Amino acid sequence: MTAIVAGGPPAGVPAAGPLLDVTDLTMFFPISQGIVFERHVGDVRAVEGVSLSIRRGETLGLVGESGCGKSTAGRTIIRLYRPTAGRIVFDGVDITRLEGEPLRLTRRRMQMIFQDPYASLNPRMTAGGIVGEPLDIHEIGTRQERRERVHELLSIVGLDPEYGARYPHEFSGGQRQRIGVARALAVHPDLIVADEPISALDVSIQAQIINLLERLQAQFGLTYLFIAHDLSVVRHISDRIAVMYLGRIVEVAPSRELNERPLHPYTVALLSAVPVPDPAVEARRRRIILRGDVPSPVNPPAGCRFHTRCWLRERLGNPEECVTVEPPLRPLAGGHEVACHFAEKVDGSSEQVQAIGTRRGVGQADGRQAAGAGAAAAVPPVPPTSPPA
């Protein structure tokens, strides 16, 4: 699959091959029964055939409902799990089956920020100990240098270096997440997988962390895989967005393109769920409400995995193809890739989504600098195509 990159990398970072190239990544968790003689009775097919690639300095957003496999994908990519199948190439090196020392060395270059800042810090270690642990185990610098680096890291993320002696329970949620960010930065990584880094935080704190992440990206030329379930946040920070449903990627497109012209019925539904900060538009637009629950990943539907809930299929008179043939991710115009047989029938602009703009929609260049008060609140609505009533 070819990588399609929208926003250019930040200045100072040379454009090269993709930093991360994932092909057909599959992660199944076995379900077994029996106590002494365990029988393998099935798999939770958390991630299946996911391909994506991220360029240096780019931010790829990965969105989807809870349980769609986006976190598993992120964790598998940094090799917290051993993938069932597929290939992960990081900076030209295949890391899919790395173990032991080579894997440990690779981990210096890719780090993770976790969703829950309360659960991701060891309650028995000080903030300084947590931030300094990567330095200790990779034996970077002398003891004195490490101490200075920990102080530096804490101030980079906006914490008083004096706080290094404190324990996690003495910090607020936002401060704890800053410690998590500092830990991820400690070893100068190239790639950071941010697994819903703000969804456990107070709304007022979310913007602070987002701004911190954007600042750090500009400062250190970081590459992000940004996982979230909230499209309004993802489109603010991402250059490109990948949408996941039930373990598969259903649509990939540059951030602006995805927002203005979604081509997968699932993406259209997701976008229609994002509130618009304009009462007039909000009152007029119609939302697509998906019926039913996400099917079980143990036994996903045949054909297109979305067909059980697809509004477009219903509108088209339930074509046979949706149930029998699994749609591949195919490239379309505008840097778009979609996994839907009838993507051409989706007219995003005439659907309910036309009123939803993006921050990037205002101008590609000022998107980063204008990272202001709040992600969702600062989104300026694009004027609707139909005249206001």
Partner 1 sequence: MDQRSSLTPPPALEEIEAAVGSTDYEVSLVSLNQWQLAWRRFKRHRLAVFGSILFLTICAIAVIGPFIIPFDFYTIPEPLKFCVGSTVLRAASGCPPSINHILGTTGGLQRDLLTLVVNGARLSLTIGIGASATAAILGTIVGGVAGYFGGWLDNILMRIVDVMLSLPLLFVILVVAKFLGGGNWFVVMLVFAVFGWQGIARLVRSLFLSLRSEVFVDAARAVGVNDRRIIFRHILPNAVSPIIVAMTLSVASVIVGEAFVSFLGFGVDITQPTWGNILSNSLSFIPLGNWWWPLFPGLAIVFTVLGINFMGDGLRDALDPRSRD
72 and 46 Cβ atoms separated by less than 8 Å: yes
Nearest approach in angstroms of CB 185 to partner 1 is 11
What is the H or E stretch that residue 154 is in?
Answer: helix 143-156
* Cα 61 to chain centroid, rounded: 4
Using the rule CB under 8 A, is 66 a contact of partner 1?
Answer: no
Using the rule CB under 8 A, is 78 a contact of partner 1?
Answer: yes
CA dist., res. 95 & res. 79, Å (int): 8
Nearest approach in angstroms of CB 123 to partner 1 is 6
Q: Which positions ≥6 away from 56 have C-beta within 8 Å?
A: 9, 13, 14, 15, 16, 18, 19, 190, 221, 223
18 and 53 Cβ atoms separated by less than 8 Å: yes
* Segment interacting with partner 1, rule: CB under 8 A, options 84-92, 100-108, 203-211, 222-230: 100-108
- Residue in 166, 215, 284, 368 binding partner 1, rule: CB under 8 A: 166
The token pair at 241 is 């967005």
Using the rule CB under 8 A, is 187 a contact of partner 1?
Answer: yes
Packing angle of the helix pair 127-137, 173-185 (nearest 10 deg): 10
- Residue in 45, 55, 70, 107 binding partner 1, rule: CB under 8 A: 107
Using the rule CB under 8 A, is 376 a contact of partner 1?
Answer: no
Nearest approach in angstroms of CB 229 to partner 1 is 17
Q: Which positions ≥6 away from 372 have C-beta within 8 Å?
A: 207, 378
- Residue in 9, 57, 128, 134 binding partner 1, rule: CB under 8 A: 134
- Residue in 116, 152, 321, 326 binding partner 1, rule: CB under 8 A: 116
Beta bridge pairs of residue 43: 30
* Segment interacting with partner 1, rule: CB under 8 A, options 49-57, 130-138, 144-152, 377-385: 130-138
Count of residues in contact with partner 1, rule CB under 8 A: 35
DSSP character string of 17-86: S-SEEEEEEEEEEEEEE-SSS-EEEEEEEEEEEEEEEE-TT-EEEEE--TTSSHHHHHHHHTTSS--SEE
CA dist., res. 293 & res. 14, Å (int): 44
Using the rule CB under 8 A, is 93 a contact of partner 1?
Answer: no
Nearer to partner 1, 120 or 208 (CB): 120
1 and 23 Cβ atoms separated by less than 8 Å: yes
Q: What CA–CA distances, in Å, run from 250 to 51, 133, 305?
A: 11, 38, 9
- Residue in 31, 137, 203, 365 binding partner 1, rule: CB under 8 A: 137
* Segment interacting with partner 1, rule: CB under 8 A, options 22-30, 183-191, 236-244, 379-387: 183-191
* Segment interacting with partner 1, rule: CB under 8 A, options 91-99, 160-168, 235-243, 306-314: 160-168
* Segment interacting with partner 1, rule: CB under 8 A, options 112-120, 284-292, 317-325, 348-356: 112-120
Which residues would be at the binding site for partner 1 (CB under 8 A)?
Answer: 36, 75, 78, 80, 103-105, 107-108, 111-112, 114-116, 119-126, 133-134, 137-138, 165-167, 169-170, 180, 183, 186-187
